[in-house]
Structure 1
Amino acid sequence: MAALLIRLLLPPCLAVALTAGCARKDPLADMREGRQPGCAVATLGPGGAAFDAAGYADVEAGLPITAETRFLIASASKQFTALAVLKLAEQGRFTLDDPARRWLPDLSGALQGATVRQLLNQTAGVRDHTVLMALAGIERMGQVSPDALLAMMRGLSSSNFPPGSRARYSNGSYLMLAQLVERVSGRSLTDYARDEIFAPLGMNDTGFDARPLVAQGYQPVRAGGFRIANDQPSLPGPGGLVTTVRDLARFDAAFRAGDTVLTPAMKAVFLEPGHLSNGETAVLPEFGTPYGAGIGLERREGRLWLSHDGGSEGFRAQYLRQAEAPVGAIVLCNRVDVDPGEIAERLSRLPTPQAVSSPGTPASTEPHPASAAAIADLAGHWRSPETLIDYAIRAKEDGVQVTIRSPLAAEPIVEDWAGLKVNADGELTTGPLRLKTNDDTLSVSFGGRVQGLVFHRVDD
């Protein structure tokens, strides 16, 4: 099953409070030798940005990485989708507390009454389309056509939770926001962001369009070396932005100055943490911090820090900066075996957060291997009426073999879900996947991003 790239743990260097040895070490040193992919960085300071780079944008062609190298930044794109939404709201085209389905009536089942603000703050409950793609056996985002992806989202009649009741990170919320920009402005997010954000700021190497990447994305292989791994989503919004560290440094300067692209009023909304319907600050459990408009918010030593990372098949990114002062770092990498968050924190000298102890899971609730009877209950033919994903499940020794059919794929996809265990809730689990049968109903969850998607048993 497709792996979801979610960075949940603090980087190793942060755990030692940026010791002198950690701070002194050149964070790009390991990428300066030989021909290998690498990273470009911008260190933000009162005097402007200082740039550095190591490694190759194209290893085979021998093209070095520079401050002008274009990288895919994946989820770090969300802040720019948010800015497009905030710009339209400031123009009076809608208010942030309007229900988004007013402009997206065909997606009302997925939205379940969520407001524009709830989509921005990740409190909407919209199911994550990238996880639905994984449940359909899709390994690469670019495999799915935009029409097929939107058709799947139009078929949804449920969400993960009622809007405003909880906070959960979802790419689906930002897919909805990209569609909102298109419906309200009459232009695609690609065109709107180019004309209204990037061009006025001189960010000429930045865009949501499928422009050729200067940097190839790379994954390491077991035999040594790297393979090219470029995978761009078919629809922009939650990801898909291509940019450079130099262009992001230009944006950072504009963000601090405030101008017609990003006014003080827009900046205030950008930095406002989301709230639940009961008034509580909404904290994303994946990161332990509130979420503003497309950006994570965290206070350390009384100062507000803004951050968002990004990960795709062959790229990693981190954009970290302090809200009140020109301090921070931008790290864009064309390889997945480095931690750009750790590099950014070293360059920014980010203060260490106070450690929070986490009690271990009681032994009585530890998952245990699934019985043959439990696996047998899972066997059969199941279909989701919302997504039209179809599972033909056959029991195996310690798991199941699943033949997946869906409108997203032209041919059936066969996967093995091995090592099934039973958790305290009686769900069968393997990795982030959770399955629970009840007579002729199968509930499928994947982490927190798709919860309780219902499948019904059908006749073969």
Structure 2
Amino acid sequence: MIKSHADFAKRVDALFGQFSEAEMPGAVVAVTENGQEIFASAYGLANINDNLPMGRKTIIRIGSQSKQFTVLLILMLEAEGKLSLEDEVQEHLRYVPRLEYPVKLNHLASNTSGYRDHLEMMTIGGLSIFAPSDRQTVRDVIATQDGLNFKPGSAMTYSNAGFFMLSDIIEQIEGATFNDVLRKRITGPLGMDDTSLLLRDGLAMKRLAAHYTKRADGWAHLGWGIEFGGEGGMVSTLDDMVLWQQNLTDPMVGTAQMYERMSAPCVFDNGATGLYGLGLVTDVYCGRRAVGHGGAVAGGKSESMRFIDDGLGIVVIANNDQVATFAVAHRIADIYFGISAPALIKLPPGRYRQEGGTNVIEIVDQNGVPTFVSSDGVTGFDFRHPGGPKPERSVTDLVLSPRPNGTIDGTFCGTPRIYVPLVADPRAAAPLAGRYVNNAQGLEVKIDGDVQRGVFRLRSDIGAMKAPIVAADKDLWFLLQPSTGMHAGLPWSATLSVTGNGFELNSERVKRLRFTRA
């Protein structure tokens, strides 16, 4: 535990030192001990143009932290007999298709539904998430889905679509907007007066921070064009999120039983325990249980984490995309508990493919430290995680362990995997050139190229997308990141796996999207 509050404050301040320079966005942070605040500070500017500093009352997007509020509203409605988490989705939403297996509301709330993420599906379909679109567009995208990523309950893959559907169900049952229900049932009674749903980036609001991304020529404003709901549309302040953490520990709104259900990790069909509960994530860090959730939006990141057996609470909210808030919360915990830096586990750099599968990961060496890369982003490792190094981000059930022969053992949602190195100069067995369709979703693809590279052109009812492809293996291609995507600038956005009559597209949150030759 900390020996000196002054030393603790100095060391936490150092984590945010990059924002001490002029004309920088920043972050706000608070640390509580058994409900009492022991540290709070604000760094950088809420608005660079107007030289407005960040503060406790600055309103900032909290992204997917919204999901815990959405689930609480669902549990409240269940307690009133207005729904059941055992209900199938179609009992409430007619536009959602019935696919290979029944999907229940508890699957939506635990990210185990198998529904494809609508943000990635929009990008794949050629509709940039930076371009204006409305909620009906999302319903249309969900309504045309022709398959699930996996059997519900068998795995966990992050799906904003599930929480979009829960938001729709809340509005439908209550006959009111999500924001009105939120204020009536949660934020109003708790006095979280600055917490609400901000439907779209660009809307005016007093004390609202601008959100920024870092580019080669400096900081730039960044905002998405989509409309948000309970999947990620809320804004809040440092003060309000500290209130929310206190409510999770000592409920004034909701019940202790509801929060126990939300934080209870899911159990997969194979008997393995995952990380995601119902809108909350429970992990073990250095032998200590940590419960919380993070968020990422255009130009912003956040994390709320409670070490529930130790009385430690941490809130970090940034108005830029350069703060790895989940890792920063861990570093604050390291300082508080007096945890020293871990011994590094050597992971050979290179790209690796799941043996017998399509998943690809990359290990890169950054100043002697192994770093994890996938189509979902770049992150460091938690080298203390039991079972092997785990990517240090809030929602992932992948754990790795190197073998002496150069392969890597992996465990994903309790299922073993083996990752084998990809060759440095791959060539496909044959060009993927041709025309392909997915008729159910109105997708048409034309590919030109040879056995090493090509151009992928897609047209759909909602847009168009053009991106390079490069061979990754004899039967596997990388679809490189389009500039319209959530993670532009990463090495690849999806893989294209050659099948007998076409190919199958797999990304981080969209699986088994099949195309056949036209």
Q: Normalization by structure 1: what TM-score?
A: 0.84
- Structure 2 residue 440 is the aligned partner of structure 1 residue 446: no
- Structure 2 residue 8 is the aligned partner of structure 1 residue 32: no
**Which residue is 1:171 aligned to?**
160
Q: Do 1:127 and 1:159's aligned partners in 2 also have CA atoms closer than 8 Å?
A: yes
**Which residue is 1:157 aligned to?**
146
1:135 is matched by which residue type in structure 2? I
Aligned counterparts of 1:266 and 1:342: Cα–Cα separation in 2? 27
Aligned counterparts of 1:340 and 1:370: Cα–Cα separation in 2? 36
Of 427, 431, 453 in structure 1, the residue corresponding to residue 476 of structure 2 is 427
Unaligned runs of 5+ in 2: 1-6, 343-383, 390-400, 409-418, 480-491
In 2 relative to 1, CA 366–432 (structure 1 residues): closer, same or farther, beyond 3 Å? Answer: farther
> What is the percent sequence identity of the aligned residues?
24
Q: Which 10-residue stretch deviates more, 53-62 or 32-41? A: 32-41
Q: Deviations over 1:270-319 (max 9, x none)?
A: 121112245x2442xxxxxx111111101346642112222222111111
In 2 relative to 1, CA 84–111 (structure 1 residues): closer, same or farther, beyond 3 Å? Answer: farther
Q: CA deviation at 1:64?
A: 0.7
2:477 is matched by which residue type in structure 1? L
Aligned pairs for 1:140-219 within 5 A: 140=129, 143-210=132-199, 211-212=203-204, 214-219=208-213
Q: Do 2:56 and 2:238's aligned partners in 1 also have CA atoms closer than 8 Å?
A: yes
Aligned counterparts of 1:190 and 1:105: Cα–Cα separation in 2? 23
Q: How many residues align?
A: 423
SS at match of 1:118: helix
Aligned counterparts of 1:191 and 1:396: Cα–Cα separation in 2? 55
Q: Deviations over 1:125-178 (max 9, x none)?
A: 111111112212344255332212211101113101111122222222212222
**Which residue is 2:370 aligned to?**
none
In 2 relative to 1, CA 324–85 (structure 1 residues): closer, same or farther, beyond 3 Å? Answer: farther
Aligned pairs for 1:31-50 within 5 A: 31-46=19-34, 48-49=36-37, 50=39
**Which residue is 2:264 aligned to?**
272
In 2 relative to 1, CA 200–110 (structure 1 residues): closer, same or farther, beyond 3 Å? Answer: farther
Q: CA deviation at 1:25?
A: 5.6
Q: Do 1:390 and 1:404's aligned partners in 2 also have CA atoms closer than 8 Å?
A: yes
1:45 is matched by which residue type in structure 2? E
- Structure 2 residue 460 is the aligned partner of structure 1 residue 406: yes
Of 392, 407, 415 in structure 2, the residue corresponding to residue 362 of structure 1 is 407
C-alpha RMSD over aligned residues: 2.7
In 2 relative to 1, CA 397–162 (structure 1 residues): closer, same or farther, beyond 3 Å? Answer: closer
In 2 relative to 1, CA 209–444 (structure 1 residues): closer, same or farther, beyond 3 Å? Answer: same
Larger helix fraction of residues: 1
1:292 is matched by which residue type in structure 2? G
Aligned counterparts of 1:128 and 1:69: Cα–Cα separation in 2? 30
**Which residue is 2:437 aligned to?**
383
In 2 relative to 1, CA 365–131 (structure 1 residues): closer, same or farther, beyond 3 Å? Answer: same
- Structure 2 residue 254 is the aligned partner of structure 1 residue 262: yes
Q: CA deviation at 1:197?
A: 1.2
Q: Do 2:119 and 2:129's aligned partners in 1 also have CA atoms closer than 8 Å?
A: no
1:434 is matched by which residue type in structure 2? T
Aligned counterparts of 1:111 and 1:216: Cα–Cα separation in 2? 43
Q: CA deviation at 1:24?
A: 6.2
Q: Deviations over 1:387-434 (max 9, x none)?
A: 32322222168422122222222xx332223x32117xx322352411
2:513 is matched by which residue type in structure 1? L
1:427 is matched by which residue type in structure 2? L
SS at match of 1:451: coil
SS at match of 2:402: coil
In 2 relative to 1, CA 258–382 (structure 1 residues): closer, same or farther, beyond 3 Å? Answer: same
SS at match of 2:190: coil
In 2 relative to 1, CA 311–243 (structure 1 residues): closer, same or farther, beyond 3 Å? Answer: same
Q: Do 1:328 and 1:344's aligned partners in 2 also have CA atoms closer than 8 Å?
A: no
Q: CA deviation at 1:76?
A: 2.0
Aligned pairs for 1:34-433 within 5 A: 34-46=22-34, 48-49=36-37, 50-109=39-98, 112-140=101-129, 143-210=132-199, 211-212=203-204, 214-223=208-217, 225-231=218-224, 233-259=226-252, 261-277=253-269, 280-283=271-274, 290-300=275-285, 303-324=288-309, 326-348=311-333, 349=336, 353-354=384-385, 356=388, 358-359=401-402, 362=407, 365-368=420-423, 369-371=425-427, 374=430, 376=431, 378-395=432-449, 398-409=452-463, 412-417=464-469, 419-422=470-473, 426-430=475-479, 431-433=492-494
Aligned counterparts of 2:204 and 2:146: Cα–Cα separation in 1? 37
Larger strand fraction of residues: 2
1:32 is matched by which residue type in structure 2? S
Q: CA deviation at 1:22?
A: 9.8
Q: Do 2:429 and 2:451's aligned partners in 1 also have CA atoms closer than 8 Å?
A: no
Q: Which 10-residue stretch deviates more, 45-54 or 91-100? A: 45-54
Q: Deviations over 1:195-217 (max 9, x none)?
A: 21111111111111335361111
Q: Deviations over 1:338-371 (max 9, x none)?
A: 2222332233336684452511553994223443
Q: CA deviation at 1:53?
A: 0.2
**Which residue is 1:7 aligned to?**
none
Q: CA deviation at 1:57?
A: 0.7
Where relative contact order (Cα < 8 A, 6+ residues apart) is larger, the structure is 1
